[in-house]
Amino acid sequence: MKITDCTLARAHGVFNLMGGAWPLVHMPSFEKVLGPKVDKWLVRTVAGLLVTVGAAQLKAADTGEGLAVVRDVGAGTAGTLLAIDLAYAPSGRISRMYLLDAAAQACWVGLWLRARRHSARHPGDRRDAAAGAA
């Protein structure tokens, strides 16, 4: 089954939007799952950025030009979160629960890289953009 760039952008957008909203809406449950946070301002800053990225991914999914940007933003965001998860969770600096997030982020990176390769092989293929307009 081929996942279109539009579908991928929307799915990743929802994932980022929900993940970012969680600590903004209910910090106690976020901390219960992912461990206590000393710098809540930093958690809220990252959360706000994820909400912003997620909203942009959802909006950009509707345009052909936006999909090219969303590929970069999606892969970059997931790659950055993956790197942080893998740098700090194994040592215990952050909760080992972040290794589950690392797995999810690795999947997003892989999907975006596959989408980028497909786009490079088929530059005139507008099916993904048309799917967003339908």
Cα 51 from Cα 48, distance rounded (Å):
5
CA distances from 62 to 114, 120, 132 (A): 20, 20, 5
Q: pTM of this prediction?
A: 0.86
End-to-end CA distance of the chain, in Å?
Answer: 19
Q: Of 39-43, 108-112, 121-125, where does mean pLDDT reach its minimum? A: 121-125
Query: What are the pLDDT digits (tens) for 48-58?
Result: 999 999 999 99
**In the structure, how many helices (H) and strands (E) does the chain have?**
6, 0
Query: What are the pLDDT digits (tens) for 1-15?
Result: 567 888 999 999 999
